[in-house]
Amino acid sequence: MININDIKNGMTVIIDGNIYQIIEFLHVKPGKGPAFMRTKLKNLKTGTTLEKTFNTNVKLEKANIDKMTMQYLYCSGDSYNFMNMETYEQVELSADQIKDDKYYLIENSTVDVSFYKGELLGLILPEKLEVTVTKTEPAVKGNTTNNATKDAEVETGLIVKVPLFIEQGEKIVIYTKDGKYASRA
């Protein structure tokens, strides 16, 4: 058990049987009344965020999350296959477990997988990912408006808005948080 005053961003705790990651917190000491802690929490199972206020005398149970580095092997229908890099044991995850993270998986790349007591919580993706553009329309001559963009499909199947100068076959860098174009590779 940890005191609410000892929490830090990124820490994982158990509240009402659910596992939450602390996104941000603020210690508030009003002019009148007792101090309290205002927090923003992310449910690691559902992905929803929650804002909750605690008194400063509350104790929370700390959740120990196991992270394992695995190599993404391939996709077969609705199942995604990963291999533990230390034991060479293969794990199959369903599309429901991976959700939209499937758009950031490239075969033979390494990814961190988080578990809590043997139950999969999700994938921990890098902040940016280098991908190859597989399909895009050529730029239209004369279209020189400010920040003009076009759609491009990358090797993972994700559709990204890219600048007009990006061509098919080029490598680009995208953000894994929102799938937006970052730069050329």
Give CA–CA dist 148/150, Å, rounded. Answer: 7
134 in the same domain as 102: no
- Residue at which a domain ends, from 96, 124, 152: 124
Is the pLDDT at 159 greater than 90? The verdict is yes
Element (H, E) at 154: strand 149-154
Give the tens place of pLDDT for each residue, 1-43: 899 888 999 899 999 888 999 999 999 999 888 999 999 999 8
- Residue at which a domain ends, from 91, 124, 157: 124
135 in the same domain as 102: no
**Termini Cα distance of the chain:** 45
115 in the same domain as 71: yes
The pLDDT value recorded for residue 139 is 74
CATH of the domain at 33: 2.30.30.30
Is the distance from CB of 99 to CB of 44 less than 8 angstroms?
no
Is the distance from CB of 124 to CB of 111 less than 8 angstroms?
yes
SS3 state of residue 98: helix
Give the 3-state secondary structure percentages of the chain, helix then strand then coil, rounded to 5.
5, 55, 40
71 in the same domain as 51: no
Q: Tokens 């399909």 appear where?
A: 135
Q: Which of 145, 148, 171 is nearest to 161 (CA)?
A: 148
Q: What is the length of the chain? A: 185
Is the pLDDT at 105 greater than 70? The verdict is yes
- Residue at which a domain ends, from 62, 85, 109: 62
Give CA–CA dist 79/59, Å, rounded. Answer: 40
88 in the same domain as 46: no
Give CA–CA dist 79/58, Å, rounded. Answer: 42
Containing domain of residue 151, as a range? 128-184
176 in the same domain as 139: yes
93 in the same domain as 75: yes
169 in the same domain as 136: yes
107 in the same domain as 70: yes
Number of domains comprising the chain: 3
What is the percent of the chain where pLDDT is above 90?
52
CATH of the domain at 104: 2.40.50.140
Give the tens place of pLDDT for each residue, 61-71: 999 888 889 99
Give the tens place of pLDDT for each residue, 126-139: 899 999 999 998 87
Task: Let me know if 153 is exposed, middle or buried by CB neighbors in 10 A (0-12, 13-18, 19+).
Answer: middle
